[in-house]
Chains A and B, each alone.
Chain A
Amino acid sequence: MSLEFRALSAELVPVAMAARNFLSGQDGARKFRAESAIAEQFAYRPTLLAEASDKSLIAVEVSEGSYTAPLVEFVLDCQRESLPIRVFVAVPVGGPPGAILQLHRRARQLGIGVLEVDGRRVTRPVPALSLSLWGLRPMTQQRFPKRLRARLSQAEDTFRNGNPAKGCGGVYDALESQSRAVAWEIDRRRLWKASTSRKGHGRNWFEKHAWANVLEYVDTYVDAQTMDSNWLPFDRALWSRVRGLTPHRNESGHEPKSLRKLQARDRELRTRFEHATDCLAELVAAFPRIRG
């Protein structure tokens, strides 16, 4: 299908066509449109807009090698709207090396990809990430002890790199481990209500029994008043928030069947990831001496 470009300079049309052929062949992109709007609220029409096989969008902005403020604004709008879209900047090869490095660096900061076009040959020095996932609030590592930082950083990367469910799973793992350790510590110190008829739940029970049940048990029987003076007061609201996350622990989720559903899923996973991270940070702060 031929594409009619109205805003793109004639000399850059071959660059656009090469990028289209590349993404069509490599990523299975289809239904390409030229200079088409995504929706009224997006104040930019990228040079090419296409659909990926998972219903997400692919946009290509053809440029001589620079970013305009409206393009950057468009990328930020996509992040704000949690739009499942991968944006590429396609540039002809041959620019000054310094400018190319700058182009790559800025692309990585924005979560967008770079395609370099040399005639019909196209390379992808910087891959594009889905902006619905890239818009995740950056994790402040200083909120966590050093032992947790590597796994949380990995979870964040996994989320941003296109596997949000697995990324959330990484945070849930850390949260589960930390909350089970707190539960066991409460048990070890016998901080239960006097009426509790504990019948020998050993360490193994707190470590292996269903996570939701362990959290519920603590919530029901802990005696917040007798907490050790070295501990902060037991925060029931925080514990409830952690309990609220357990139903999502093992959700694998179904593949969304439309752009709208994909956008809703990504938005929800983003919220869950951020929420789980916040809960973990608060839990660590509330029980600083307990290692999960």
Chain B
Amino acid sequence: MAITAAEADLRLIKIDLIDRNPENPRIHFRQKEMEDLIESIAIHGIQVPISVYRDGRRYTIIDGERRWRSALKLNLAAIPALVQQKPDKLTNLLLMFNIHALREQWDLLTIAMKLSTIIGLLEHEKGARPTEIEISRATGLTRGVIRRCRYLLALPTEFQRQLDAELKKPKREQKLTEDFFIEMERALTTVERAMPDVLPDRSRVRRVLIAKFRSGVIDNRVHFRHIARIARAAKVDVNVVSAKNALEQLFSRNDYSIERAYEDTVAGAYGEKEIAARLDGIIARLSQLRPRDIDGDLRSRLQVLSQLIHRLVRQ
């Protein structure tokens, strides 16, 4: 299945004989990035050959579509290319995934959209649904990336389109990012598991949260992690009814922020839990010390701590 570089043939190919690969998972080529590459190629030329396969009298790109587009724009007559054998559909896709996996140039959504095709083709080839490890081996993607892709794949078309529209914009103008949707989906999945009754219509809630993010009521996508904490209120002995009430308000009221819902419910409990966890660590360390191990600076800090503890415990 794999094609090695040794089997490839380096040639100068006329620009107009080359076509883009219809299976290329990369669907967005941002203009600014293209312009930067065009400027670079205008000065330095094409330093790394593109990879193509022959298809009749023409050639199809495996790797190097941006270089080819830049060469076309610069009216270069020909471009250096490694010509490989024509691969089958799965090999074609996997070649591109493996070539690009480490470059972090592709948008996650573009990878996700092609990943489902790869999973289908791998299933057809081995006769069973591939495991995450098998997908990772075949594509060169880490399991973390595959999991993140799955969140995006599971989004209804309406939200995939919204994300797609954002990704077409220059990076600095993008408001809704892939990370936003992944954080939101993770949080909603936790709510669905812990409190399914507050999430009867997930898409309606998505719309509310997106609107809040756009208007600035939610100003940091990391705050979605607080939603998961509110949903797990029972774990920190917080009244589940008040947590549900806060989530219901969060999912319906336009002015109610995640931070406020968090403060209104579990912030105190998680704060205590955090202090307790740190104290456990400190107690464990202090119990190993002998009086002669303590120098002046540490001694004075322990004295301050001791006074604070006495005051808090007395109250």
| A68-B39, A69-B39, A70-B39 given; A44·B170 CB < 8 A | no
Q: Are A69 and B34 in contact (CB under 8 A)?
A: no
Choose from B34, B35, B75 the contact partner of A37 (Cβ within 8 Å). B75
Q: Are B168 and A45 in contact (CB under 8 A)?
A: no
Complex-state Cα separation, A11 to B32, whole angstroms: 12
For A70, what are the chain B residues with a Cβ–Cβ distance below 8 Å?
Answer: 38-39, 42, 73-74
A-B contact count (CB 8 A): 60
For B75, what are the chain A residues with a Cβ–Cβ distance below 8 Å?
Answer: 37, 40, 42-45
Chain B 1-29 interface residues, beta-carbon cutoff 8 Å to A: 20, 27-29
Choose from A8, A10, A68 the contact partner of B168 (Cβ within 8 Å). A10
User: Is B169 an interface residue when CB atoms closer than 8 A count as contact?
Assistant: yes
Q: Mark B43-81, 1 if CB is under 8 A from A, else 0.
A: 100000000000000000000000001101111010000
User: Is B31 an interface residue when CB atoms closer than 8 A count as contact?
Assistant: yes
User: Is A116 an interface residue when CB atoms closer than 8 A count as contact?
Assistant: no
For B169, what are the chain A residues with a Cβ–Cβ distance below 8 Å?
Answer: 11
For A63, what are the chain B residues with a Cβ–Cβ distance below 8 Å?
Answer: 31, 35
User: Is A54 an interface residue when CB atoms closer than 8 A count as contact?
Assistant: no
| A9-B29, A9-B34, A63-B31 given; A69·B73 CB < 8 A | no
For B38, what are the chain A residues with a Cβ–Cβ distance below 8 Å?
Answer: 68, 70
User: Is A102 an interface residue when CB atoms closer than 8 A count as contact?
Assistant: no
User: Is B30 an interface residue when CB atoms closer than 8 A count as contact?
Assistant: yes
Q: Are B31 and A64 in contact (CB under 8 A)?
A: yes
For A66, what are the chain B residues with a Cβ–Cβ distance below 8 Å?
Answer: 32, 35
For A12, what are the chain B residues with a Cβ–Cβ distance below 8 Å?
Answer: 31
For B30, what are the chain A residues with a Cβ–Cβ distance below 8 Å?
Answer: 9
Complex-state Cα separation, A213 to B70, whole angstroms: 60
Complex-state Cα separation, A42 to B76, whole angstroms: 10
For B72, what are the chain A residues with a Cβ–Cβ distance below 8 Å?
Answer: 6-7, 35, 45
Q: Are B73 and A35 in contact (CB under 8 A)?
A: yes
Interface size, B (range) = 20 to 34
Chain B residue with Cβ nearest A35: B72
Chain B 136-187 interface residues, beta-carbon cutoff 8 Å to A: 168-170
Complex-state Cα separation, A7 to B30, whole angstroms: 11
For B28, what are the chain A residues with a Cβ–Cβ distance below 8 Å?
Answer: 9-11
Complex-state Cα separation, A10 to B77, whole angstroms: 24
Minimum C-beta distance from A90 to chain B (A): 12
Chain B 176-219 interface residues, beta-carbon cutoff 8 Å to A: none
Q: Mark A69-85, 1 if CB is under 8 A from B, else 0.
A: 11001000000000000
For B74, what are the chain A residues with a Cβ–Cβ distance below 8 Å?
Answer: 43-45, 70
Chain A residue with Cβ nearest B71: A7
Q: Are A40 and B70 in contact (CB under 8 A)?
A: no
Complex-state Cα separation, A42 to B35, whole angstroms: 18
For B35, what are the chain A residues with a Cβ–Cβ distance below 8 Å?
Answer: 63, 66, 68
Minimum C-beta distance from B21 to chain A (A): 13
Interface centre among B43, B69, B75, B169 (most CB of A within 10 A): B75
Chain A 1-41 interface residues, beta-carbon cutoff 8 Å to B: 6-12, 35, 37, 40
Top 4 A-B pairs, shortest CB-CB distance: A11-B168, A7-B69, A70-B42, A9-B31
21 A-B Cβ contacts within 8 A? A6-B20, A7-B34, A7-B72, A7-B73, A9-B28, A9-B29, A9-B31, A10-B27, A10-B168, A11-B28, A11-B31, A35-B73, A40-B77, A43-B74, A64-B170, A68-B38, A68-B39, A68-B42, A69-B39, A70-B42, A70-B73
With A11-B168, A45-B72 known, 12 other A-B pairs at CB within 8 A are A7-B69, A9-B28, A9-B34, A11-B31, A35-B72, A43-B74, A44-B75, A66-B32, A68-B42, A69-B39, A70-B38, A73-B42
